[in-house]
Amino acid sequence: MKVDFYRHSLDEKDIESVNETLRSLFLTTGPRTAAFEAKFAAYAGRKWAVGLTSCTAALHLALLALGIGEGDEVIVPAMTFYASATPVFYVGGTPVLVDVCPETGLIDPAAVERAITPKTRAIIPVHLYGVMADMRQLRTIADRHGLAIIEDAAHCVEAERDGVRPGDLGHAICYSFYATKNLASGEGGAVATDDERVADRVRLLRQHGMSKSAAERYTGLYRHWDMLELGWKYNMSDIQAALLVNQLDRLGALWQKRQAVAERYDAAFAGMPGVEIPGIVGKSARHLYTIWVDPEKRDAVLAGLQEAGVGVAVNYRAIHTLTWLKEKLGLRDDMFPVALRIGQRTLSLPFYPGLERDAQQYVIDTVRKIVNG
C-alpha cells in the first residue's frame, strides 16, 4: 500500500473560481484579493487582513509595520519551522531563541520572561501543530514589558484556548496558505490585525512601497503614483485569492474530518508502548499529526515507514541545531534541551481530511510493527 503524506482538499468550486479569474481582467491583486481579505478578516475575528505571498512575508512585514528593526531583539521558540525566526534578520534584528514546554512543544512563558532584555521588542509565539501557545500568560508578560506580540499561526486557523482564538491577544497575526496548510493555495499568506496603521503599512510595503496598487492604477482613469518608501513585492494575486475564498466556507467541515482522523490515531497510540502523543490544550486546529518516539529509534521509524510506502515528515528538528542559525547566533545544542529532545523524537504521519480508514489503519499497524519490532 502507498499512503501519501498529504493530499489537498480543493473541490470543483475552487477550480471553477480559478477558471473564472483566468477569464477575467485581473490576475494580480484586485477584486478577488479584496473579497478574500474581507471574508478572511471576518472569519479570523480581526478588523483587517492583508493578503500576501507567504507567512514568511507576513512575519517580515508585521515586524516592519510594528517598527521593529536594527538592534532589536525578538523572542522566538526553538521548536518551530525556522521561518518563524529568519524574518527577524530581514529587518536587522536578532531572534532570541527560548525553550518550549515538554508536554506540548509550545513556547514556555517562563523562558520568555527570562530572555527579556532592554533590547527586547516583541515575541513571536508559534501555535505548533495547531495548538495555541499560552496567549493569556504571554500577553500579560508582553504588557508588563511593553512588547508586541506577532503570532505565527501558520498551523492554526481554527483553534481556541482559554477562551481566546488566534489573533485575539496578538498585535498582528501571520497566516500561511502554503500547499500543505489547512487553508491552501500552493503559496500564500496574510497578516491580520485590529490596528489600522499596521494594516495600512503592510498594504504599502507588500507592493514596492507604492502609493497606488495596480487595481487603483488601472481601474478608471490613470493617476500618477509615487514611491513613498522602500517596500517589497509580496502581494497576493487574484488567482491565489480565488483558490482560497471558497475554502473558508469549508474550514469547519474539513476540521471535523481531520478531528475524526486524529481521534482514530489517538485511540490507537494512547496505550502503545514507545509512542507518545504531544499534549493538546483547548481546541487544536489539527494541522499536523505528530508523534514522539524514542530518539534512538526515530530515524529507523522514518525509514521503515517510507519503505512501507508511508509518507512522513519531521516537524521539526529544533532550529538552534540548524547550521546557519547555530553559527550566526553562536548557539550550542544543549542550550534548549526540551526543544532539542522533541526534535530528536518527533515525526509526522499522513494527516488530511480525505485520509481513508484502511490507509490509516495501515499507517498505525506499520508504526506499531516498527516501534515495537
Buried b (16+ CB within 10 A) or exposed e, 168-185: bbbbbbbbbbbeebbbbb
Kindly tell me which residue out of 178, 255, 265, 289 binds ligand PLP, with binding defined by CB under 6 A.
178
Residue 157 sits in the site that holds ligand PLP (CB under 6 A): no
Q: What does DSSP assign to residue 131?
A: P
Nearest residue (CB) to ligand PLP, 133 versus 154: 154
All 3 cell numbers of residue 182?
489547512
Nearer to ligand PLP, 104 or 176 (CB): 176
* DSSP 8-state class, residue 74: E
342 binds ligand PLP (CB under 6 A): no
Phi and psi dihedrals of 6, rounded to 5? Answer: -145, 140
Q: Choose between 150 and 331: whose C-beta lies nearer to ligand PLP.
A: 150
- Quote the distance between the C-alpha of residue 141 and its chain's center: 22
Q: Is 2 noted as a catalytic residue in this protein?
A: no
Nearest-angstrom CA–CA distance, 154 and 134: 16
- Determine if 176 is a binding residue for ligand PLP (CB under 6 A): yes
- Does position 104 interact with ligand PLP (CB under 6 A)? The reply is no
Selecting among 2, 39, 119, 181, the annotated active-site residue is: 181
> Is 126 one of the binding residues for ligand PLP (CB under 6 A)?
yes
Q: Which range, of 35-43, 54-62, 90-98, 115-123, touches ligand PLP by CB under 6 A?
A: 54-62
By the rule CB under 6 A, 189 interacts with ligand PLP: yes
Which lies closer to ligand PLP via its Cβ, residue 17 or residue 84? 84
Q: How far is CA 76 from each of CA 24, 87, 149, 272, rounded to the nearest angstrom?
A: 42, 11, 11, 33
Binding mask 62-91 for ligand PLP (x = CB under 6 A): ------------------xx-xx-------
Cβ–Cβ < 8 Å for 72, 123: no
- Residue of 205, 188, 172, 169 whose CA lies nearest to 56: 188
Of positions 139, 155, 165, 320, contacts ligand PLP by CB under 6 A: 155
29 touches ligand PLP by CB under 6 A: no
C-alpha Rg value of the chain to the nearest Å: 21
> With respect to ligand PLP, which residue has the nearer C-beta, 308 or 313?
313
Residue 371 CA to residue 15 CA, distance in Å, equals 41
d(CA 220, CA 155): 40
Please give the positions annotated as active site. Answer: 181
Footprint of ligand PLP (CB under 6 A): 54-56, 80-81, 83-84, 126, 152, 154-155, 176, 178, 189
